Structure 1
Amino acid sequence: MSKEEKGWANAAPAGLVGLAVACFCFFALLGGRVEHSCLPLLGCWLIGGALVQYTVAIVEYKEGAITGGNIFLVFAAFFMMVSGLEMIFKYLALAQGWPAIDSRIDGYAWMSLWICIWLMTPAYFKSPVLMTVLIVGIDIGVPIVSLHDLGLISNDYLGIASYAFLGAGICGLYISGATVLNAEYGKTVLPLPGPLFREKTIVVQSGPIKESLI
């Protein structure tokens, strides 16, 4: 074992894979490519993703990454765990003939997440541009799901959300693979385009101040 203590490895790639799994599944569900009988299975996948993203959030917090830590924790709790449990519950309620559930409450919950993601999106403008594209995909999909659950828009709009989530999932997989390969080989194996906005360092040269007596 090395005497030099090493820091924690970057766990974000695992979190992005968990996000991609959810996005691909939502693409299939919202786009009508699978039947709603799949809900219990989808719920299991989302709960698994929640465990991954919760772990990633802890690592991100430990490394001082305020944006990544908070986003992954929110995604783990609400997008993954709550959604997964709800899907299993709703399926059982329908299968067992339980009293009807007013699921419009989900629309209000999704609305708060929608506002949260929109407010935090600019923080990702300093990340690789593909991460920004990923977040924009989520920015498109979440409002549509919220408005649909509130009963304000029809099922026709769910197709737009499905493709937005698919795009986000594809970006997540690419970023995940590129991050791992580039770090492992110590060089660019898969390129990651730079951020939209780069930080500029302004160097101010200071010298002795000369005072003139007039």
Structure 2
Amino acid sequence: MSEKSHSWATPAPAGLVALAMACFTFFALLTGKITPASSGLMGIWLLGGFAVQVIVGIVELKEGNILSGNIFTFFSAFFMLVTGLEFIFKYFASVNGWKIDAHVDGWGWLPLAAAVTLWAPAYLKSPKCLFGVVISLTPALWIISLMDMGVWPHEMAPVAGWLAFSGGTFGVYTSAAVILNTSFGRSVLPMGAPFIKPQPASGPALGSKSA
């Protein structure tokens, strides 16, 4: 990564907007502002989010950003693509009276929640508004997983919904801050200094050349 290391602008703001879209639609569903009858349309919106986030993940990995590259990649696959297709499938299942056992969703969400939880400390080196996205979504993922597994009652759904709304709000703010601060070359929207200040790199960036 020599003179071409900055040939691509970061697509992370687009990925955060896509994440916010998913968070807001989940908020609407989990808090009862929309009914399950809208699940087919919600699935289509999530497929749009997949198209954005998979591009973000690939570009971030290309630029050597191990954390954001990996998290956008698996979010695009499971949070967007799989969930979007599931919502469309469940819509047709409800219309046609198909019998399905959706408890598998909880087991699928479980490692995603665990991964985000275990990776969250790495975001202590990121701006506080980005850390806010992660700290909001982490408990929401656990609630959704445990509800889908049948471990927790569905009365917990509004809690997960409001946490998703919080994460989406932080995501929109962070995306706007990156765009405006970069465009104007100064701090237009404060992002908050990281809890842990990143150390200056003395060698290749982590994730740029691993093997």
Do residues 76 (structure 1) and 79 (structure 2) align? no
Q: Which residue of 2 aligns with 1:126?
A: 125
The alpha-carbon deviation at position 10 of structure 1 amounts to 1.1
Consecutive unaligned residues of structure 2, counting only runs of 5 or more, are 203-211
The alpha-carbon deviation at position 200 of structure 1 amounts to 4.6
Q: Secondary structure at the match of 1:167?
A: helix
Q: Which digits, 9 at most, give the CA deviation of each residue in 1:25-66, with x for residues without a partner?
A: 000000111111100110000000001000000110111000
User: Given residue 121 of structure 1, which amino acid in structure 2 is its aligned partner?
Assistant: A
Q: Which residue of 2 aligns with 1:20?
A: 20
User: Given residue 138 of structure 2, which amino acid in structure 1 is its aligned partner?
Assistant: D
Q: Which residue of 1 aligns with 2:52?
A: 52
Any runs of at least 4 consecutive aligned residues in structure 1 with deviations exceeding 2 A, and if so which? none
Do residues 144 (structure 1) and 143 (structure 2) align? yes
User: Given residue 165 of structure 1, which amino acid in structure 2 is its aligned partner?
Assistant: A
User: Given residue 176 of structure 1, which amino acid in structure 2 is its aligned partner?
Assistant: S
Q: Secondary structure at the match of 2:140?
A: helix
- Greater Rg by CA: 1
RMSD: 1.4
The alpha-carbon deviation at position 199 of structure 1 amounts to 3.0
User: Given residue 163 of structure 1, which amino acid in structure 2 is its aligned partner?
Assistant: W
Do residues 169 (structure 1) and 150 (structure 2) align? no
Whole-Å Cα distance in 2 between the matches of residues 118 and 191 of structure 1?
26
Whole-Å Cα distance in 1 between the matches of residues 138 and 146 of structure 2?
13
The alpha-carbon deviation at position 140 of structure 1 amounts to 1.0
Q: Secondary structure at the match of 1:189?
A: coil
Whole-Å Cα distance in 2 between the matches of residues 21 and 200 of structure 1?
33
Q: Which residue of 1 aligns with 2:156?
A: 157
Whole-Å Cα distance in 2 between the matches of residues 68 and 55 of structure 1?
12
User: Given residue 50 of structure 2, which amino acid in structure 1 is its aligned partner?
Assistant: A
User: Given residue 26 of structure 2, which amino acid in structure 1 is its aligned partner?
Assistant: F
Consecutive unaligned residues of structure 1, counting only runs of 5 or more, are 204-214
Whole-Å Cα distance in 2 between the matches of residues 146 and 166 of structure 1?
17
Q: Secondary structure at the match of 1:171?
A: helix
Whole-Å Cα distance in 2 between the matches of residues 26 and 56 of structure 1?
21
TM-score after normalising by structure 1: 0.90
The alpha-carbon deviation at position 108 of structure 1 amounts to 0.4
Whole-Å Cα distance in 1 between the matches of residues 97 and 32 of structure 2?
24
Whole-Å Cα distance in 2 between the matches of residues 92 and 199 of structure 1?
49
Whole-Å Cα distance in 2 between the matches of residues 106 and 58 of structure 1?
26
TM-score after normalising by structure 2: 0.91
Q: Secondary structure at the match of 1:37?
A: helix
Q: Which residue of 1 aligns with 2:186?
A: 187
Identity within the alignment, %? 44
Whole-Å Cα distance in 2 between the matches of residues 41 and 195 of structure 1?
38
Q: Which residue of 1 aligns with 2:89?
A: 89
Whole-Å Cα distance in 2 between the matches of residues 73 and 106 of structure 1?
19
